[in-house]
Amino acid sequence: MTIIEKIIANHSSQATVKPGDIVDVFIDARAARDFGGANVVENILNNGLTVHDPSRTFFTFDCNPGGSDQKYAANQHFCRLFARQNDIKIYDIDSGVGTHLAIDKGLAYPGSTFVSTDSHANIMGAIGAFGQGMGDQDIAAAWAKGSVWFKVPDSVKLILKGKRPANVAAKDIVLNLLSIYGANKLLGYSVEIEGEPCDGFSLDERITISSMATEMGAIILLFTPNDKVLDQLEAKTGSRFTPVTPDADASYLFCHEIDISSFVPMVANPGHPHDDTSVDSVRNTKIDSAFLGSCTNGRIEDLRIAAEILKGRKVAPGVVLKIVPSTDAIWRQALEEGLIQVFKDAGAMVSNAGCAGCAAGQVGQNGPEEISISTGNRNFSGKQGKGSMYLASPEVVAASAIAGFITTPDQIPSTPATFEKKEAKVREVVQKVVSEKPTVVEGRAWVIRRDDIDTDMIFHNRYLTITKIEEMGQYAFDNLKGYEDFAKKAKPFDIVFTTKNFGAGSSRQQAVDCFLSLGISAIVAESFGAIYERNAINAAMPIMTYTAGQLEELELEQDDQVRLNMLTGEVNNLTKNKTVFINKFYDAQMQIYKNGGLL
């Protein structure tokens, strides 16, 4: 049998297995991340299942270590509550990339089986283990049953030969392999990599290569650990492991010999990890940002390489270099070795350990038209932002950050490239025509008798990236309990009446503009938050204040028809035939209002 056939057989009821067999595979370690973890829990709860073996079950919160996204934060806490109730170990936001933790802490080991909601769980091939990324239902089944069904894949063998060029990194090796096999020539295969050059690959380098099995379409890229790698694993875990090796008469679909002596430093062009080309072909391409990290290149060896290049140098003017170690232990080691100091002195931003930009959860995103170079394993369009993302080795990323353009360490210029001054590109020019603004408005009343309605209740911070006013209205009050459907029910010309300190909190203009988007005629409150009041006046959003008791004098109720005079302060409840006089517009407010806004 091949390596994967042996591992699967060892974890099933079968003495032997062959390609195409479908067997239940016992899973030694079963993980769920903050990306998909909450769905795993939902599947467990909704189907009345229990956790088979908590000691083999783990959460790894690596996608959004900062919890900076509200939905990630909610999912993480939901998983924490479930973990407490079921005695499940959590590698929380301070820990790092789950697959790397599994290797370094011995959750996965040579010959073992590991599944996770991470599509790069096949990184375990670096240590000769079976690892698979799976969907929420698969992981829920593994948690509840301890095993999952799996179809034994065909095995192929890549035999590396030749001398590895001194300037070719592990990332270059896998990018060269991608240029040969693309995204589908190894589709669905278990790929064993062997040959004399492999003996020189460290654990970290094997992790880099195996981490891109998914991008090659392979089930897994498997290495047989040599004594050097077994020593490294023993140092990390305290255990000496025995690797699984293929039988001499194992059957492979095909075996290819590949001479790596002709390999060169490579990049993956934006959009496709398999669209690979030499660094020379894109050399001098100006960059805006650079990223070092991810499950592919966030190891200590990667950080040492980058620090050696960055030491005594500065990141090019205007270029942003972001560095994210893959685990907290690696972060601390980098701190002890002085690497963090080198990065900071060079002008890089160093973040806490985690996956970073891949799952849109941390640093590493880029904006429209931004050109980035990254050590990540994926650069699909929109995956890490709306800009262009090249993939490369830590050597090329560090050198490029210093140069300001794509280059290699041997060709870093003495003077970095600078950005040409270009006329700022206006996103969209809208010529505003200010029509005569009405000073008397009439509409249906919304009566919200609640003090201290803050800007997060009005327009939650999860929507703050929205810049077009016409898109804001749909989110008005969606975080105000009891009024989550306000935007759907509101009609143009409606008037909102509320009580004290409306708009408390942040300075976000969207909390005003969302009402303009809906066509709300005015907001009347006993008082407004200081910043909110200015924002409303400057946006020509009519706001007026009243004194305590005047709403009662109006006998105002929801849906009453109301007329409001900004010049005189007269308010008529047309439904109840009641009138009061509140505070009218002051002169500066009226001047800005008639101007259509401050600007």
Residue 173 CB partners (closer than 8 Å, separation 6+): 164, 209, 260, 263
Torsion of CA 362, 363, 368, 371, to 10 degrees: -140
- Tokens linked to 540: 């020509």
Instruction: Look at strands 190-194 and 29-33 and give their pairing.
Output: unpaired
Residue 527 has pLDDT above 90, yes or no: yes
Whose CA is closest to 109, among 21, 199, 240?
240
The answer to whether the CB of 453 falls within 8 A of the CB of 504 is yes
| pLDDT at position 321 | 96
| pLDDT at position 75 | 87
The answer to whether the CB of 263 falls within 8 A of the CB of 176 is yes
**pLDDT single digits (tens) 46-93:** 999 999 999 999 999 888 776 566 777 888 899 999 999 999 999 998
- Tokens linked to 485: 């459907």
Candidates 3.30.499.10, 3.60.15.10, 1.20.1440.130, 3.40.109.10; CATH matching 266-411: 3.30.499.10
The answer to whether the CB of 448 falls within 8 A of the CB of 497 is yes
Question: Which residues of the chain form CATH 3.30.499.10?
Answer: 3-261, 266-411
**pLDDT single digits (tens) 285-295:** 999 999 998 88
CATH 3.20.19.10 fits 440-594, yes or no: yes
Q: What is the CATH T-level fold of the domain 3-261, as seen in this structure?
A: Aconitase; domain 3 (3.30.499)
The 8 Å CB, 24+ separation contacts for 233-236 are: 233/103, 233/106, 233/109, 233/110, 233/127, 233/203, 236/103, 236/104, 236/105, 236/106
Q: How far is CA 396 from CA 278, 279, 284, in A?
A: 11, 8, 12
**pLDDT single digits (tens) 230-262:** 999 999 999 999 999 999 999 999 999 999 999
Number of other residues whose CB lies within 10 A of the CB of residue 471: 14
The answer to whether the CB of 540 falls within 8 A of the CB of 593 is yes
The answer to whether the CB of 368 falls within 8 A of the CB of 382 is no
* Alpha carbons within 13 A on the beta-carbon side of 363: 20
Number of other residues whose CB lies within 10 A of the CB of residue 568: 13
| pLDDT at position 69 | 67
Number of other residues whose CB lies within 10 A of the CB of residue 428: 6
- The one-character DSSP state at 122 is G
Question: Which residues of the chain form CATH 3.20.19.10?
Answer: 440-594
Q: How far is CA 590 from CA 493, 515, 593, in A?
A: 19, 19, 5
**pLDDT single digits (tens) 337-381:** 999 999 999 999 999 888 877 766 567 678 888 899 999 888 777
Q: Which residue has the tokens 């992981």?
A: 139
Q: What is the pTM of this model?
A: 0.80
